[in-house]
């Protein structure tokens, strides 16, 4: 599927009005039905101001008739960028349909005023073959809302099976330079709208696969490898910071621990018995996705005999967004209110940074100290009761003793490690009662309400991971550009909060990317 290249060729086609092959691009189809992208000339415009209009057509549905489910604004071919209005329109409509969260800080109307300058610059600085991945992402996400919500149900089913399924990788752009440039140019607010809309579409597609697969169970939904989960990720450098971002639907993350693992491996059980409330719970949880931002502060210092590259954790922010399934007004959302407090939470974090593998000119990794996590004092009170003496003659003596002790527990254990030339930063959440890692145990009766932010996320500041780490680079590398790699591995755990259920699980996602490090002395 490469509609952008087809669109770019339209401006060079003088026979557009007479050639059906240049007027229709089939996005998906079988023997009788199809979803098409059709272009038509404006019949009222004169030849010097020719303009085009794009339409999305559902062909073969509704008694084998064709129906138009979307129409674009006019695109003037006389303009230097005739198809820029098309891209901007799709972006605005994608943002307007992006699922909301309970903690949105800005309104959609503020984001709909997309400035054409950044989009135009990305289109100019990249070839049509490169920009096609961005256009496919925008178009496929917009088609999801058109076919699934604004078209008859049979069009939505056809879209999942014949268009979204075969082209699902278009919604999982990771590490592409054009994606990084595009999202950074539009700004973080627009970036969140795009990735949340795509994550919601991915979640719905995975749910549809679960329903279609039936007896294969949830384990079969781990369709992505740990190093390439479905979602978005990229790394960039800005103002002395290395920034690594990752956006992943919960369902695309690999299951590492849950209470149904034995059933999933049992091939005899085709239809595990699940309570209705647990079914609704899993459906609610399936619309959540992880948003992770890792920032390293770095510096390059030139010494007489070597160059020192320093880095330290500036910030790690983990947020779990609930896309379209949260408290709201109306009767239809009463069921959602019962599950609005149920969410995944970060239970283990591992991030690392270092030179690319095989860098012989980099050596001497020096780790900083590991800071101690704050210890909380918990007072434990025990009351002992006893009776002494029997019978009616001898008096009976009652005794009561109260014992109070204090013990110190750690919620998070934070430390530094090394793996080759990479510095590894770990944070592990422990269960207060058992003292074991949360990712490996069943839920205890004591929750973690005071450990996370109000929205259920987690923020690690620079003061929690210790001093900076450093590498020594040979002075002969001055003036060159090195590749520096970053990676993240995040565990998210669900324990019942207010719902009385036995279901719990932990999921994990891992990804990495690289940035350029110029070794240029500055004043």
Backbone φ and ψ for 43, nearest 5 degrees, come out as -65, -25
Q: How many CB atoms lie within 10 A of CB 515?
A: 21
Q: Which residues of the chain have pLDDT under 70?
A: 1, 11-22, 43-48, 64, 101-112, 211-229, 260-275, 325-338, 369-410, 444-451, 453-456, 522-523
CA–CA separation, 323 and 284 (whole Å): 9
Radius of gyration of the chain (CA): 28
pLDDT of residue 330: 46
pLDDT of residue 405: 53
pLDDT digits (tens, 9 = 90+) for 329-386: 443 455 556 677 788 999 999 999 999 988 888 888 888 866 565 555 556 566 666 6
Determine the length of the chain. Answer: 523
Nearest CA to 510 among 444, 424, 391? 424
Tokens representing 216 are 């294969």
3-state secondary structure of 482: strand
pLDDT of residue 263: 43
CA–CA separation, 220 and 215 (whole Å): 10
Q: What is the dihedral of CA 129, 133, 138, 139, to 10 degrees?
A: 70
The sign of the CA dihedral 184, 190, 192, 196 is negative
pLDDT of residue 363: 84
Contact predicate 326/339, CB 8 Å: no
pLDDT of residue 88: 95
CA–CA separation, 25 and 252 (whole Å): 31
How far does Cα 443 stand from its chain's mean position? 25
pLDDT of residue 47: 59
What are the sequence ranges of the domains in the chain? 3-80, 259-366+413-523
pLDDT of residue 259: 74
pLDDT digits (tens, 9 = 90+) for 59-97: 888 776 888 999 999 888 888 889 999 999 999 999 988
Burial 260-282 (b: 16+ CB within 10 A, else e): beebbeeeeeeeeeeeeeeebbb
Cα within 13 Å of Cα(454), Cβ side: 2
Q: Give, for 53, the enclosing helix (H) or strand (E).
A: strand 51-60
Q: Which residues pair with 363 in a beta bridge?
A: 472
């Amino acid at each position: 599927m490469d509609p952008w290249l087809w669109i770019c060729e339209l401006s060079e086609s003088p026979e557009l009005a007479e050639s059906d092959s240049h007027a229709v691009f089939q996005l998906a189809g079988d023997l009788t039905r199809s979803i098409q992208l059709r272009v038509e000339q404006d019949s009222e415009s004169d030849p010097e101001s020719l303009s085009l209009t794009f339409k999305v057509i559902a062909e073969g549905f509704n008694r084998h008739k064709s129906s138009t489910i979307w129409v674009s604004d006019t695109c003037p071919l006389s303009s230097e960028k005739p198809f820029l209005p098309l891209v901007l329109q799709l972006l605005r409509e994608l943002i307007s349909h992006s699922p909301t969260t309970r903690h949105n800080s800005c309104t959609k109307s503020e984001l709909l005023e997309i400035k054409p300058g950044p989009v135009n610059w990305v289109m100019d600085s990249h070839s049509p073959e490169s920009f096609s991945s961005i256009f496919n992402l925008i178009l496929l996400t917009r088609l999801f809302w058109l076919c699934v919500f604004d078209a008859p149900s049979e069009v939505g089913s056809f879209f999942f099976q014949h268009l979204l399924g075969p082209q699902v990788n278009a919604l999982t752009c990771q590490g592409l330079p054009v994606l990084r440039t595009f999202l950074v140019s539009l700004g973080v607010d627009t970036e969140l709208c795009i990735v949340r809309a795509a994550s919601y579409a991915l979640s719905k597609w995975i749910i549809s696969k679960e329903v279609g697969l039936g007896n294969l169970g949830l384990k079969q939904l781990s369709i992505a490898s740990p190093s390439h989960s479905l979602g978005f990720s990229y790394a960039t450098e800005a103002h002395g910071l290395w920034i690594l971002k990752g956006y992943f639907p919960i369902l695309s993350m690999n299951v590492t621990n849950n209470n149904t693992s034995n059933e999933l491996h049992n091939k005899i059980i085709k239809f595990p018995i699940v309570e209705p409330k647990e079914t609704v719970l899993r459906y609610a949880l399936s619309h959540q996705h992880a948003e992770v931002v890792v920032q390293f502060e770095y510096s390059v210092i030139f010494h007489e005999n070597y160059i020192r590259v320093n880095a330290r954790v500036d910030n790690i922010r983990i947020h779990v967004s609930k896309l379209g399934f949260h408290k709201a007004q109306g009767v239809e959302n009463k069921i959602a209110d019962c599950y609005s407090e149920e969410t995944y939470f970060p239970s283990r974090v591992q991030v690392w940074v270092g030179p690319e593998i095989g860098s012989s000119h980099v050596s001497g990794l020096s780790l900083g100290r590991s800071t101690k996590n704050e210890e909380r004092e918990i007072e434990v009170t025990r009351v002992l009761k006893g009776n002494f003496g029997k019978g009616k003659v001898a008096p009976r003596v009652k005794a009561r003793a109260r014992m109070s002790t204090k013990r110190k527990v750690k919620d998070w254990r934070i430390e530094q490690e090394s793996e080759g030339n990479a510095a590894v930063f770990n944070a592990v959440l422990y269960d207060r009662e058992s003292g074991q890692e949360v990712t490996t145990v069943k839920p205890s009766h004591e929750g973690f309400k005071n450990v996370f932010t109000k929205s259920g996320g987690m923020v690690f500041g620079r003061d929690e991971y210790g001093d900076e780490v450093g590498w020594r680079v040979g002075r002969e590398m001055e003036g060159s550009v090195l590749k520096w790699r970053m990676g993240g591995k995040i565990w998210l755990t669900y324990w019942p909060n207010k719902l009385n259920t036995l279901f719990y699980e932990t999921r994990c996602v891992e990804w990495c990317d690289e940035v350029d490090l110029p070794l240029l002395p500055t004043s």
